[in-house]
Amino acid sequence: MKRHEALAPLSRDHHGTLILAQLLKKTAPVYKGLPIDPENKIAYAKHLFEKDIEKHFEQEETILEKVKGCHPELDKLAIEIADEHKQLKKLFASLGSTDDLETPMDELGKALEAHIRKEERVLFPMLQEHCPEDKLEEIHILLH
């Protein structure tokens, strides 16, 4: 399904966050121009969270509030997404708080990837299918 233009900015944001998710995993390949050691990966992840990801979460939650009532399954999914945002925020905050740096990074990388995949494969198609065009236009105005 082609992404509705209203949701395209969120979808584009996901690309960089997916790269971060891969970078944080224990099995991460070396990405040219990105940190290699755990300490710098953590600093990079925290920087991206504060600079972009936290705002992205807020935008998604605002959108999900706007579309409340469009469809019962969408309302249920919105609660899951908001709960995942809370969990991801905790995982970002906990980075570097223990001697074992790699396990929390790996956990965050896997959770972040799963979350983005859910939004791309389930949430966004559901928004496009069940939200009236005027709601999608509101989203478009909010994000553009």
pLDDT digits (tens, 9 = 90+) for 20-59: 999 999 999 999 999 999 999 999 999 999 999 999 999 9
pLDDT in tens, 68-79: 999 999 999 999
Does 1 have pLDDT greater than 90?
Answer: no
Res 14: pLDDT: 97
pLDDT band at 144 (very low <50, low <70, confident <90, very high): confident
Q: DSSP string spanning the chain?
A: -PPPTTTHHHHHHHHHHHHHHHHHSTTPPP-TTS--SHHHHHHHHHHHIIIIIHHHHHHHHHHHHHTTTS-HHHHHHHHHHHHHHHHHHHHHHHTTSSS--HHHHHHHHHHHHHHHHHIIIIIHHHHHHHS-HHHHHHHHHHH-
Please give the average per-residue pLDDT across 8-22, as a whole number: 96
Confidence band (pLDDT; 50, 70, 90) for 2? confident
